[in-house]
């Protein structure tokens, strides 16, 4: 088990110099530390996730300020989807809204604690603006979470540290997904799956339109996520070798005409993102085969963290073995940039290499290639 209090990693600097990339993290939760931390950490690039309305701008600013080190990802996390209404017109009142998106139906006293909801379409506008400004930006963190419950306080879950000490002992709480004492106690209220799905689909449409990869969160939702993507993939298949030769550009998949089954030209806009990362994947090992079937018209990557995945013990090893070598990514999933983030990343790199039977150098090179392929789309071989 990883020692959460250790702030130093033991990877030699020659290994860091090969390039180690964090495929999913949240350092803007402690934004003030970011600048200082980037000066002391050896992580090549951080793929940083936005999650809610107020952190999109932090991710944007970080990416603008440190373009060499940061790849931004803009999106709306399932934990906060209750704050969005999806109807074209605003709901009659916040009470109407929360009654329609939360399960079971919450009492008025609980809804009193919650803010007025904001329209999904206004969020999508912000998303598009950010995506257009940042040409390498991803869409994320998006997804479905069926186990998440709203904090009793009505406040949002927060990972902000009042203490700026990098070696604070908050991580064991982070493992449970709750950090500040205010957000520790949970209510019984969950966000309806249909509502989460609607918010997810709207964001997947943006990712598809702007041809961006997505970082996806799935908890107790692996079957559902697979269904959602399968529906988007229906009617599309990977091009044959001859077609591929003809259309060398990436993402020119062949659309099968549903009427007579003949392939159509692949110039149409694809209704799904071409590259998908299932972050901190916690689904069954068997399902990996479905996601990585080479006939699927999208490349699905799996990213793993010590914080989340080491909880799964032996199952984690089985999962890692089942992931094709070219679809594996590593992440810290940590909420604060610094030496601890680096140590978490070093730990998962070592663990992956051990389970996969890779030499450290070879493993780091493979993981680096995979990250570049996922983020920049250089995998159209
Ligand atoms: Zn995350």
Q: Which domains does the chain have, with CATH numbers?
A: 13-237+271-376 (3.20.20.140)
The position carrying tokens 């000490």 is 165
Q: How many CB atoms lie within 10 A of CB 58?
A: 18
| 3-state SS, residue 285 | helix
**Residue 63 Cα to ligand 1 middle (Å):** 17
**Residue 321 Cα to ligand 1 middle (Å):** 23
**Residue 13 Cα to ligand 1 middle (Å):** 27
Cis preceding-peptide flag for 141 (omega within 30 of 0): yes
Sheet holding 275-279, edge to edge: 21-25, 45-49, 70-74, 138-145, 214-219, 275-279, 299-304, 328-330
Cis preceding-peptide flag for 106 (omega within 30 of 0): no
Residue 76 scores a pLDDT above 60: yes
**Residue 177 Cα to ligand 1 middle (Å):** 10
**Residue 109 Cα to ligand 1 middle (Å):** 30
**Residue 26 Cα to ligand 1 middle (Å):** 6
State the Cα–Cα distance between residues 7 and 132, nearest whole angstrom: 37
73's torsion region: left (phi>0), alpha (psi -120 to 50) or beta? beta
| pLDDT, position 310 | 83
**Residue 50 Cα to ligand 1 middle (Å):** 8
Calculate mean pLDDT across residues 336-346: 95
State the Cα–Cα distance between residues 203 and 272, nearest whole angstrom: 10
State the Cα–Cα distance between residues 58 and 8, nearest whole angstrom: 27
Q: Is the dihedral of CA 239, 244, 250, 254 positive or negative?
A: negative
**Residue 126 Cα to ligand 1 middle (Å):** 20
| pLDDT, position 126 | 98
Q: How many CB atoms lie within 10 A of CB 17?
A: 11
**Residue 243 Cα to ligand 1 middle (Å):** 38
Phi, psi of 158 (to 5 degrees): -130, 140
**Residue 333 Cα to ligand 1 middle (Å):** 5
Calculate mean pLDDT across residues 123-152: 97
- Start-to-end C-alpha separation, the chain: 38
**Residue 252 Cα to ligand 1 middle (Å):** 30
**Residue 245 Cα to ligand 1 middle (Å):** 38
Model confidence pLDDT, tens digit, residues 360-381: 999 999 999 999 999 999 744 3
Long-range contacts of 91-97 (CB under 8 A, 24+ apart): 91/117
Which contiguous run of DSSP H or E holds residue 191? strand 190-191
Can you name the residues that pair with 21 across neighbouring β-strands?
45
The position carrying tokens 């269904």 is 227
Model confidence pLDDT, tens digit, residues 257-313: 444 444 444 446 899 999 999 999 999 999 999 999 989 999 999 999 998 888 888
**Residue 279 Cα to ligand 1 middle (Å):** 7
Do 50 and 61 contact (CB within 8 A), yes or no? Answer: no
């Amino acid at each position: 088990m990883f020692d959460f209090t250790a702030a130093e990693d033991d990877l030699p600097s020659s290994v860091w110099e090969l390039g180690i990339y964090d495929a999913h993290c949240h350092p803007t939760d402690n934004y003030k530390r970011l600048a200082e931390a980037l000066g002391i950490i050896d992580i090549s690039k951080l793929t940083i996730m936005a999650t809610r309305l107020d952190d999109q701008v932090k991710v944007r600013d970080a990416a603008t300020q440190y373009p060499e080190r940061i790849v931004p990802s803009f999106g709306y996390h399932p934990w906060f989807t209750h704050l969005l209404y999806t109807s074209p017109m605003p709901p009659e009142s916040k009470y109407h809204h929360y009654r329609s998106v939360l399960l079971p139906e919450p009492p008025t006293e609980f809804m009193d604690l919650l803010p007025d909801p904001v329209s999904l379409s206004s969020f999508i506008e912000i998303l598009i603006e950010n995506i257009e400004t940042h040409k390498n930006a991803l869409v994320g963190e998006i997804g479905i979470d069926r186990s998440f419950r709203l904090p009793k306080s009505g406040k949002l879950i927060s990972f902000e540290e009042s203490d700026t000490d990098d070696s604070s002992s908050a991580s064991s709480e982070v493992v449970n997904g709750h950090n500040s004492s205010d957000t520790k106690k949970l209510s019984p209220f969950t966000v309806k799956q249909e509502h989460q799905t609607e918010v997810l689909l709207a964001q997947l449409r943006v990712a598809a339109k702007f041809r961006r990869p997505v970082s996806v969160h799935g908890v107790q939702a692996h079957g559902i996520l697979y269904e959602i993507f399968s529906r988007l993939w229906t009617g599309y298949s990977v091009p044959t070798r001859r077609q591929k030769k003809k259309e060398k550009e990436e993402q020119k998949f062949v659309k099968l005409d549903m009427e007579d089954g003949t392939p159509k030209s692949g110039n149409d806009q694809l209704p799904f993102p071409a590259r998908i990362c299932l972050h901190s994947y916690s689904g069954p090992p068997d399902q990996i085969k479905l996601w990585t079937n080479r006939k699927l018209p999208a490349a699905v990557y799996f990213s793993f963290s010590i914080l989340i995945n080491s909880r799964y013990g032996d199952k984690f090893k089985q999962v890692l073995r089942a992931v094709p070598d070219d679809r594996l990514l590593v992440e810290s999933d940590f909420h604060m940039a610094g030496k601890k983030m680096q140590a978490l990343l070093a730990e998962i790199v070592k663990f992956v290499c051990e389970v996969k039977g890779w030499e450290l150098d070879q493993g780091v090179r493979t993981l680096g290639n995979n990250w570049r392929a996922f983020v920049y789309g250089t995998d159209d071989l």
